[in-house]
């Protein structure tokens, strides 16, 4: 049981092996960012998990400035605002996850397909762009 939704908790969005190894405090610092994480979870991630009927693992959720810089994230990364998450499933490929999100017409701002995970973002305020992008290392089928 999660504290955001049935299957997701804030600790998943704060967890980072890189932050732990480097001694970086990656706790979500404000209620506004928590609200962004809730919006992403309740509008995209939980409905996607329900549609798949399978676990989604948050590989990278919220990132503080120091962690974002360390992992090579862009300065304006939606991860910094709690608006983005990189997810994978032990039961589905990234392509299958992405296709399900599109099929379910989930309100994502961006969906970026990577070789081993899918990046989803959702803005709490403003219009979702519905962008589908492919990381340069992704060489598989298109959605």
Q: Whole-angstrom Cα distance, residue 143 to residue 126?
A: 25
Decide which of 3.20.20.70, 3.30.379.10, 3.40.50.300, 3.30.1380.10 is the CATH code for 10-134: 3.30.1380.10
Which pLDDT band, with edges at 50, 70 and 90, does 19 fall under? very high
Domain residue spans of the chain: 10-134
47-84 pLDDT tens trace: 999 999 999 999 999 999 999 999 999 999 999 999 99
- Phi, psi (deg, nearest 5) at residue 112: -120, 120
Helix (H) or strand (E) holding 134, with range, is: strand 131-134
Which pLDDT band, with edges at 50, 70 and 90, does 122 fall under? very high
């Amino acid at each position: 049981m999660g504290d955001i939704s049935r299957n997701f908790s804030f600790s998943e969005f704060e967890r980072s092996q890189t932050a732990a190894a480097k001694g970086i405090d990656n706790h979500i610092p404000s209620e506004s960012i928590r609200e962004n994480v809730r919006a992403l979870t309740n509008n995209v991630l939980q409905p996607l998990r329900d549609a798949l009927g399978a676990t989604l693992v948050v590989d990278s959720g919220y990132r503080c400035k120091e962690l974002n810089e360390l992992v090579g994230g862009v300065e304006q990364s939606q991860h910094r605002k709690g608006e983005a998450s990189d997810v994978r499933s032990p039961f589905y490929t990234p392509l299958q996850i992405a296709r399900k999100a599109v099929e379910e017409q989930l309100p994502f701002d961006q969906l970026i397909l990577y070789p081993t995970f899918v990046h989803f973002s959702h803005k709490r305020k403003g219009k979702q762009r519905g962008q589908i992008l492919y990381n340069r290392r992704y060489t598989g089928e298109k959605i």
